Amino acid sequence: MFVLRSKYRDLQARHERVVRLLTTAREQLADFKGAAIRTAGRNTALTEQLETARDTAGVDTEYASQLETRLARVLRVCVRYRATNRQLERDVARLQRRLDDAAGLNTAAMEFGARWQERRADVHWPRPAEGVNPS
């Protein structure tokens, strides 16, 4: 039985690709297995540490549960207070803008005259020393 040369090359290329995929899969499997073993070891060590801490601290699970409930309640209140605070800050900024509008503090004339004290001729301002940046 004859096999065409082109068909042989195609099969050889396909075989090489499958071998590469198999090698890659084996390497990944070894990496995953190592990671799983390390994770299991860490989990065991952490579980032992947790049990030791619970035994030495004499933690009452009911008390810990109550503390978790209280903490969750405090966090909810904190979120609500922060939201209220942000809203109040926005309201204050809006009211300040309205007050500035009503008092005429944000007009072009006010901005033009904002530095009039610095331009007064009867006041002598001290000059900065040579080589010193005034800002």
Chain segment 26-37, per-residue pLDDT in tens: 888 888 888 888
Question: 1 is written with which tokens?
Answer: 């039985």
Say which range, 27-36, 66-75, 83-92, 110-119, has the weakest mean pLDDT.
110-119
Question: 2 is written with which tokens?
Answer: 């004859």
pTM (predicted TM-score)? 0.38
Q: Quote the CA–CA distance of 79 and 77 in Å, as a whole number.
A: 5
Mean pLDDT of the 72-78 span: 89
The three state secondary structure string of 86-106 is HHHHHHHHHHHHHHHHHHCCC
Whether residue 134 contacts residue 128, with contact meaning beta carbons closer than 8 Å, is answered with yes
**Is residue 78 scored above 80 in pLDDT?**
yes
Number of residues in the chain: 135
Closest CA to 62 of 70, 52, 72, 50: 70
Position 122 confidence tier, pLDDT thresholds 50, 70, 90: low
Chain segment 7-23, per-residue pLDDT in tens: 888 888 888 888 888 88
Whether residue 18 contacts residue 10, with contact meaning beta carbons closer than 8 Å, is answered with no
Token pair 């009867």: residue: 122
Residue 79: C-alpha distances to residues 3, 68, 69, 106 (Å): 75, 17, 16, 35
**Is residue 119 scored above 70 in pLDDT?**
no
